[in-house]
Amino acid sequence: MKAFLLLLALLPATAVAADATKNPQFTAGQKALQAALDRPQPKRKARNIILFIGDGMGINSVTAGRIFAGQARGLDGASYKLSFETLPYGGFSKTYSADKLVTDSANGISAIMTGVKTINAAIGVDDSVKSKDCQSALGARIDTLAEQAKRSGRAAGVVTTAGITDATPAGAYGHVPFRNWRADVDLPADAAKAGCVDLARQLVEAPDDVRMDVAFGGDLQDFVPTGTGPGKRADGRDLTKTWVSRPGARYVTDAAGLSALDTKGGPVLGIFADGDLPSPVDTELHRNVPTLSDMTAKAIDILAAKKSGYFLLVESASIDKWHHANNAYRALTDVDELSKAVRIAMDRTDPNDTLIIVTADHSHGLVISAGSSREEPITGLVRNHGVNLTDGNNQPRLTLSYATGPGGPKAGAVVPIPDEATATSPDFHQPALVYMASAQHAGEDVPVYSRGPDSDLLTGTFESSYIYQVMAHAFSLTGPKVAKPVAKHRRRHVHGR
Ligand SMILES: [Zn+2]
How is domain 48-57+84-329+350-364+448-474 classified at the CATH fold level? Alkaline Phosphatase, subunit A (3.40.720)
- CA 370 – CA 328 distance, rounded (Å): 17
Q: Pairing relation of β-strands 310-316 and 387-388?
A: unpaired
pLDDT at 286: 87
**Cα 3 to ligand 1 centre (Å):** 72
Where are the domains positioned within the chain? 48-57+84-329+350-364+448-474, 366-439
Which residue in 105, 316, 318, 464 is the catalytic one? 105
pLDDT at 490: 45
Q: Is 97 a catalytic residue?
A: no
**Cα 203 to ligand 1 centre (Å):** 22
Which amino acid appears at position 89 of this protein? Y
∠ CA 357-361-362, rounded to 5°? 130
- CA 27 – CA 39 distance, rounded (Å): 18
8 A C-beta contact, residue 170 and residue 105: no
- CA 109 – CA 208 distance, rounded (Å): 23
Residues whose CB falls within 8 Å of the CB of residue 29, separated by 6 or more in sequence, listed in order = none
Tens digit of pLDDT at every position of the chain (497 positions): 555 555 555 555 566 788 999 999 999 999 999 999 999 999 999 999 999 999 999 999 999 999 999 999 999 999 999 999 999 999 999 999 999 999 999 999 999 999 999 999 999 999 999 999 999 999 999 999 999 999 999 999 999 999 999 999 999 999 999 999 999 999 999 999 999 999 999 999 999 999 999 999 999 999 999 999 999 999 999 999 999 999 999 999 999 999 999 999 999 999 999 999 999 999 888 889 999 999 999 999 999 999 899 999 999 999 999 999 999 999 999 999 999 999 999 999 999 999 999 999 999 999 999 999 999 999 999 999 999 999 999 999 999 999 999 999 998 888 888 999 999 999 999 999 999 999 999 999 999 999 999 999 999 999 999 999 999 999 999 877 765 544 444 444 444 33
- CA 328 – CA 378 distance, rounded (Å): 9
**Cα 320 to ligand 1 centre (Å):** 5
**Cα 50 to ligand 1 centre (Å):** 22
Tell me the residue length of the chain. Answer: 497
- CA 195 – CA 138 distance, rounded (Å): 8
pLDDT at 485: 45
β-bridge partners, 312: 50, 157
- CA 331 – CA 279 distance, rounded (Å): 9
pLDDT at 220: 98
Residues whose CB falls within 8 Å of the CB of residue 401, separated by 6 or more in sequence, listed in order = 366, 367, 369, 407, 430, 431, 432, 433
Half-sphere exposure of 355 (CA within 13 A, CB side): 30
Which amino acid appears at position 452 of this protein? G
pLDDT at 17: 84
